[in-house]
Structure 1
Amino acid sequence: MPSPLIEKISMELGAQEPWPKGVKLFQPYEVEQILLPDNANCLAVQAFLKMCQLEFEVEPRANAEAMSPTGKVPFIKAGRFITAELEAIVQFVNGKGISLTDKLDSDQKADLRAYMTLIRNVVEIAELYICWVDKETYNEVTSVRNGSVYPWPLNHIKNREKRNQVFKKLKVLDWYNKTLEEVHCEFESCCDALSVRLDNNQFFFSVGPTELDALVFGHFFTILTTPLPRNDLAKIVRNYPSLINLVEKIERDYFKKDARPLEASNL
C-alpha cells in the first residue's frame, strides 16, 4: 500500500485536474437498506455537489460501506480518485478551484466549522442513538434495514457487529447511558443554536449556500421524512420554522421544483 504522504500528494494532484465526467457517488440502497444517519450524510454530499453545479451519478451498492476507504458513506469516485465523507469531498472540490466559501472571512469560516462540528457531535449522534439504542426503533426498523441485503444468519451477525461498533462509539462520547429525554434535550439545544444563527435568513451566510447549509439539509430533511416508531426528533425540528424553510428551499432549488411542504410529508 502507498504511504500516507504519497496518498496525500496524489490527492492534491488529482484535485488540480478538472472535474471529470462520469463521477459516481456510492451509497447504500435508499428504499430497503440505508439508515437515517447514512441517508442524511449522503443527501448532504448530494446537496453540496448540486450547489457547486457539479455533475455526478448516484450508484447504490449493498456493500457501499465496506467499499469506502474510511468505512463510511458516501464516497465519490472521480476519475482515478476516491474520496469519502463530506469534509474530505469539500476539500477535494476546493482543490479544483470550486468553493462555496471563498468569499467568507476567517471569522465566518471558523463559525462555519464550529456549527458543522456541532451537527456532527449532536445531531448525527442523536440519530445513531435513536437507530441503535432505542429498542423499538432498532427492532422495527434498524435491524430489518441493515440486515436486508444479507441472507440469514449473516444478517444477524452483521447487525450484531454494527450495533457493537455504534455502542462503543456512543460510550466513548458519553451518549450510551443517556436517557431518551436527555438525547432530546441535547438535540433541541442544537436546533436552538442553528435557528439563532440562521436568524430567518435564506442561508447561514449572505454569500449564498455553503456546505453548512448542505449538512443541515441532509440531516433535517432525512429526520423530517423518515418514518420511524419514534418521530420525536422530527417533532422538535418542526418547532423551528426557519430551519424548515431552509430545508424546503434547498429541496426546491437543487432537487426538484415541485417540492411539497415538509409539514405535509408522509410520516
Structure 2
Amino acid sequence: MNPKEAVTKGECERNGIEIETKATFAYKGKQEMFLDFSLIEDDEIEEVESPILQGITQEPWPKDVELYQPYEVEQILLPDNANCLAVQAFLKMCHLDYKVVHKENAEAMSPTLKVPFIKAGRFVIAELEGIVQFVNGKGITLTEKLDNEQKADMRAFMSLIHNVIENAELYICWVDKETYNEVTSVRHGSVYPWPLNHIQNWEKRSQVIKKLKALDWYNKTLEDVFSEVETCCEALNTRLDGKPYFFEEGPTELDALVFGHLFTILTTPLPRSDLANTVRNYPKLIELVQRIEKEYFKKQAKH
C-alpha cells in the first residue's frame, strides 16, 4: 500500500471509530470522563481536542507535566507500550521535562480512552498527535525546517504506522489465541480482582475485535498480518534510505513513532517471534531505533 494512499482511507476509518467512542463517552457525562482523577480539581481541567488549541499559544512548558500510562512491569501491553514510548521519545526530542505516572486505570482516565495522556497545567491531552499539536501551540516544533511536501510525507507515513503496525499489534495481542491466553489476558487482568479481571478482559477484547472488523483486519491470518508489517517496514526502510533520521533536517514525530513501535516489538517477549523477526530483516531501521535509544534515553539518563 502506498503510504499516501493510506492517509485518506485509513484516517477516515480510524477517526470514524474514535468519533463513535467519544460520542458514546460524552453521553455518559463529564464525571466519568475523569474516572479516578481525584488528584485534579474539575474546574481546573480543560481537555485539548481541537487542533486550534486556543489560549495556549506561546505559554511556557509547565514544570510539573505528568505523563500517565499503565504499569510497565505487570500490566501494559505491546500496542499501549509502543504509543507511550513514542510520546516519551517525542518529548525528549523536544527537550521537554515530564514525569511518568503509572495508573492501573490510565486508559479510563484518558479523554480519548487511549494512552498515553499528559496533564500539563490545566490541560489534559491524549495520544501522540494531540500532544504534538499541544507542544506546537507553545512554539516548539520538530518540523520547522520541513516544507509542505515533506510534512505531507511525514503525516502519510505516520498514518501508515497507525493503520498497519498498530493494527498488527492489536491483532496479535487480542486475536491470536496463543498470545491472548499466555500474555494478554494475564497482563491486562493482573490489576483487577477476580472475577473483574475476566470481565475487563472480555470487554476490552470485544472492543478491539469490533475495531479490527471495521478495518477489515479481524479475518486476516497471521501470515497476512506479518506480510502487511513487512510491506510497511519496506516502505519505511525505503523512505529512511540510510539517513540518520527520516528527514535530513533532524528527528521528527515520525522518528519518535517508529521508535516507539519498533523498539517495543523488538523487546517484548511473545510466544511467537515472527513479528520481531520481520522487523529484524531491516538493519537500517534497527540502527534508527538504536540511535534514538542511545541519544534520547541512555544519554539523558546519565545526566
Would you say 1:175 and 2:183 are equivalent positions?
no
How far, CA to CA, are the matches of 1:116 and 1:12 in structure 2? 25
Q: What are the equivalent positions in structure 2 for 1:1-16 lying under 5 Å apart? A: 8=50, 11-16=53-58
How far, CA to CA, are the matches of 2:64 and 2:52 in structure 1? 20
Would you say 1:134 and 2:176 are equivalent positions?
yes
Task: Give 1:8 shift.
Answer: 4.4
The answer (yes or no) to whether the contact 1:11–1:81 under 8 Å persists in 2 is no
Q: What are the equivalent positions in structure 2 for 1:89-100 lying under 5 Å apart? A: 89-100=131-142
Q: What are the equivalent positions in structure 2 for 1:130-209 lying under 5 Å apart? A: 130-209=172-251
How far, CA to CA, are the matches of 2:300 and 2:116 in structure 1? 26
Counterpart of 1:70 (choices 112, 122, 126) is 112
Would you say 1:237 and 2:279 are equivalent positions?
yes
SS in 2 for 1:16: coil
Counterpart of 1:30 (choices 66, 72, 80) is 72
How far, CA to CA, are the matches of 2:98 and 2:87 in structure 1? 11
The answer (yes or no) to whether the contact 2:51–2:133 under 8 Å persists in 1 is no
SS in 2 for 1:77: strand
Q: Which residue pairs with 1:114 in the alignment? A: 156
Judged with a 3 Å threshold, the aligned counterparts in structure 2 of structure 1 residues 208 and 155 are, in CA distance, closer, same or farther, namely same
How far, CA to CA, are the matches of 1:117 and 1:6 in structure 2? 21
Q: Deviations over 1:208-243 (max 9, x none)?
A: 000000000000000000000011110011010110
* TM value normalised by structure 2: 0.82
Task: Give 1:17 shift.
Answer: 1.4
Q: Match for 1:153: what amino acid?
A: P
Judged with a 3 Å threshold, the aligned counterparts in structure 2 of structure 1 residues 124 and 9 are, in CA distance, closer, same or farther, namely closer
The answer (yes or no) to whether the contact 1:14–1:81 under 8 Å persists in 2 is no
Task: Give 1:258 shift.
Answer: 10
Say how many residue pairs are matched.
Answer: 258
How far, CA to CA, are the matches of 1:224 and 1:9 in structure 2? 33
Gaps of 5+ in 1: 260-267
Counterpart of 1:252 (choices 286, 290, 294) is 294
Q: Match for 2:166: what amino acid?
A: E
How far, CA to CA, are the matches of 1:56 and 1:160 in structure 2? 33
Counterpart of 2:87 (choices 45, 52, 68) is 45
Counterpart of 2:267 (choices 207, 211, 225) is 225
The answer (yes or no) to whether the contact 1:69–1:83 under 8 Å persists in 2 is yes
Judged with a 3 Å threshold, the aligned counterparts in structure 2 of structure 1 residues 161 and 15 are, in CA distance, closer, same or farther, namely farther
Q: Match for 2:120: what amino acid?
A: A
How far, CA to CA, are the matches of 1:63 and 1:258 in structure 2? 29
How far, CA to CA, are the matches of 1:6 and 1:192 in structure 2? 35
How far, CA to CA, are the matches of 2:154 and 2:48 in structure 1? 30
Judged with a 3 Å threshold, the aligned counterparts in structure 2 of structure 1 residues 189 and 85 are, in CA distance, closer, same or farther, namely same
How far, CA to CA, are the matches of 1:98 and 1:9 in structure 2? 15
Judged with a 3 Å threshold, the aligned counterparts in structure 2 of structure 1 residues 107 and 164 are, in CA distance, closer, same or farther, namely same
How far, CA to CA, are the matches of 1:184 and 1:9 in structure 2? 34
SS in 1 for 2:101: strand
Task: Give 1:12 shift.
Answer: 2.1
How far, CA to CA, are the matches of 1:65 and 1:165 in structure 2? 13
- RMSD (Å), alpha carbons: 2.0
Judged with a 3 Å threshold, the aligned counterparts in structure 2 of structure 1 residues 15 and 78 are, in CA distance, closer, same or farther, namely farther
Task: Give 1:7 shift.
Answer: 7.1
Segments of 4+ moved more than 3 angstroms: 4-11
Q: Deviations over 1:119-173 (max 9, x none)?
A: 0000000000000000000000000000000000000000000000000000000
SS in 1 for 2:212: helix
- Deviates most, 242-251 or 9-18: 9-18
Q: Which residue pairs with 2:23 in the alignment? A: none
